[in-house]
Chain A
Amino acid sequence: MSQAVAHGHDDHSHLPAGWKRWLFTTNHKDIGTLYLSFALIMFFIGGAMAMIIRLELLEPGVQYVDPTFFNSMTTMHALVMIFGVVMPGTVGFANWLIPMMIGSPDMALPRMNNWSFWILPFAFTLLLGSLFLPGGGPAGGWTMYPPLMLQTGFALPFVIFAVHFLGASSIMGSINIIATIFNMRAPGMTFMRLPLFVWTWLITSFLLIATIPVLAGAVTMLLTDKYFGTSFFNAAGGGDPVLFQHVFWFFGHPEVYILILPSFGIVSQILPTFSRKPLFGYESMVYATASIAFLSFFVWAHHMFTVGMPLAGELFFMYATMSIAVPTGVKVFNWVATMWRGSMTFETPMLWAISFVVLFTIGGFSGLMLGITPADFQYHDTYFVVAHFHYVLVTGAVFGMIGGVYYWLPKWTGHMYDETLGKIHFWVSVISVNLLFFPQHFLGLAGMPRRIPDYAVQFTEWNQISSIGGFVFGASQLIFLYLIIRCIRGGAKATDQVWEGAHGLEWTLPSPPPYHSFTTPPQVTDAVAHS
């Protein structure tokens, strides 16, 4: 029965070095770093596409790119930003932080963690490579509605397989996060003691595993309609193209919360730290997050009010959409109440978190306007929608993530970032992003349709302001890149707690979390207690 398992001394170098370290790593911090680095690279690729879009829209008429390429840019920009920036970025935060926050040595399934990251570069090679295929890249919008999407050339199967890979990566990441949170919490870390960031990711993971198979099935049926003669969405063959819209948005609306909930969690960590108060209404925050996620399954058709549906359906989806404002309002109220009469200081992460609360709320309000069925008939497919979802996803999800990077960067690298540069980055970004997106509300209300390379001359001024804001916002992110690189390479030594008001297990570890440091006497817990 028994056998010797001891091995020789020469097996010390069990950790690969150089590029192999990153390729074969199963360490949650390495993988978190890979995800975050990947998201940053994709942020600049997706951002470059946005610059092309804004350049073309700087003036009426078609100046720089042909309309099909413009449509490819809008499609790819969305796919890159959603699947290449926000989702991997938030998974990067989850990888770095969840094990440290719950007191676990690593993720539950480290090898699967490695696979779920390394699928991403393959998927995006397929996706971005499709731009160079005959017929150009996908130009039917990230929503991939048939029959328009079925007119895509050789790029279609590439896009669909890329979406499959991205979905598989997301599912593996989610399953890993669920298994980690369920199984690997430290003793005493009950569910209602979990940091809110961990809660938001747990709920996000449930949303992902519930909805990704729907997306996978829908795009596969798109593929079979194109290449295998089926007619799921082809009216000529007895199918229904509107069915695709329903099934896509059954995935797509929860996807919106998949993108924003982790940033809710990040902001819920930052605000108490710099207000020097506990988060107001922790339990209500947990229930509100769960309620938002639950309700997200019953509101999908508000994206398609104009497609035609029974009045009862329109009323149902309108009221269901309105009801999401209640738990969202609870969260906004709790963030504000956390800051109320706190000993607030305004370090860079706090500035991003406060701007998140203000600007995300603007996006939430414009979402409510869009949720009113008769009003939506007017706003649908206009720039008002573009302004709305960019306030939610850029000043919401992305601002939350940038705030999170500033908040945890000293912990990750062991160095303090340049606070002055961080504040310059913040102020330039927050002013320019409002120049970029706020005028789009006016353009939409005045009737400018979305996804067009040309427009009527009366829209010129606001488009020019928007484009200039876009260029400044894009350029200001180079400050962010420089600041991160500089912080990784050196800087003032960060303390363990980093921020005076920070609480949580991750702040009890040294910066960077060293595991090996013997410069301080080892803290002996369970073992010594037993002796």
Chain B
Amino acid sequence: MIYQLAAAESPLQTFVVRPNQSMSWQGLLFAFSGMATVIIGIGVTCFAIGLPLVLPFSGAELIVLGAAFYLTARRGDVREVITISANGVAVETGRRGPETRAEFQRHWARVVLERPRHSWYPGRLLIRSHGREIEVGRFLNEQERRGLALELRAALRREEGPA
């Protein structure tokens, strides 16, 4: 998902890109609790009737399920903030705050939508300058990626207004 945080006329353009997260953390917890109740309930019942070795498998499965939910929720939390100022392009990535930052000179920066080698793979959206590049919007679907590429190119081409 892409949000643009500035007026179109401003020289300072900010794009916030984040993965689509269709279920809230609370929703995931609720779903996990429900599944855990069933899985452990079956394991404990089996234990009670003389089948003790079901429970360890239930527990192991629950750990994998919890880890999968946690990882996907955490990945959904990531933000990429692309700021195009009068002279530079900054790409900050992080969750609660910027954890990594890359900067390019605005007038040399190019937005490249790279074709994949095989048609089934997604493309890559790169900001490139002086032999350096950074991929943005890795988690977007293809339509969104193309949209972001257009937006970034338009923003880079836009004439600088009054500071």
Q: How far is the CB of B58 from chain A (nearest CB, A)?
A: 4
Q: How far is the CA of A202 from the CA of B55 in the complex (A)?
A: 24
A206 at the interface (CB under 8 A from B): yes
Q: How far is the CB of A27 from chain B (nearest CB, A)?
A: 6
Q: How far is the CA of A434 from the CA of B152 in the complex (A)?
A: 61
A3 touches B71 (CB 8 A): no
- Contacts A3-B100, A5-B91 known; list 15 others, CB within 8 Å: A6-B102, A11-B133, A17-B117, A105-B139, A171-B61, A187-B1, A214-B46, A217-B54, A220-B53, A515-B116, A516-B116, A526-B147, A527-B147, A527-B151, A528-B147
Task: List the 7 shortest-distance A-B pairs measured between CB atoms, nearest first.
Answer: A217-B54, A2-B101, A527-B147, A213-B57, A185-B22, A6-B132, A522-B146
A171 touches B64 (CB 8 A): yes
B68 touches A176 (CB 8 A): yes
A20 at the interface (CB under 8 A from B): no
Kindly identify which residue among B55, B134, B143 contacts A217, using a CB–CB cutoff of 8 Å.
B55
Q: Which residues of chain A are within 8 angstroms of B95 by Cβ–Cβ distance?
A: none
Q: Which residues of chain A are within 8 angstroms of B124 by Cβ–Cβ distance?
A: 14
A21 touches B101 (CB 8 A): no
Q: How far is the CB of A309 from chain B (nearest CB, A)?
A: 15
B4 touches A182 (CB 8 A): no
B 133-163 binary contact with A (CB < 8 Å = 1; else 0): 1100001111110111111001000000000
Chain B residue total in the interface (Cβ 8 A): 80
B 107-137 binary contact with A (CB < 8 Å = 1; else 0): 0000000111111111110001001111000
Chain A residue total in the interface (Cβ 8 A): 71
Residue of A nearest to B53 (CB): A217
A290 at the interface (CB under 8 A from B): no
Would A526 and B144 be within 8 Å (CB), given that A217-B53, A218-B54, A513-B120 are in contact? yes
A522 touches B46 (CB 8 A): no
Q: How far is the CB of A23 from chain B (nearest CB, A)?
A: 15
Q: How far is the CA of A187 from the CA of B114 in the complex (A)?
A: 26
A420 at the interface (CB under 8 A from B): no
A6 touches B151 (CB 8 A): no
Residue of B nearest to A240 (CB): B50
A512 touches B68 (CB 8 A): no
Q: How far is the CA of A522 from the CA of B100 in the complex (A)?
A: 30
B147 touches A525 (CB 8 A): yes
Would A7 and B134 be within 8 Å (CB), given that A183-B21, A214-B54 are in contact? yes
Residue of B nearest to A222 (CB): B53
B23 touches A524 (CB 8 A): no
B20 touches A186 (CB 8 A): yes
B102 touches A531 (CB 8 A): no
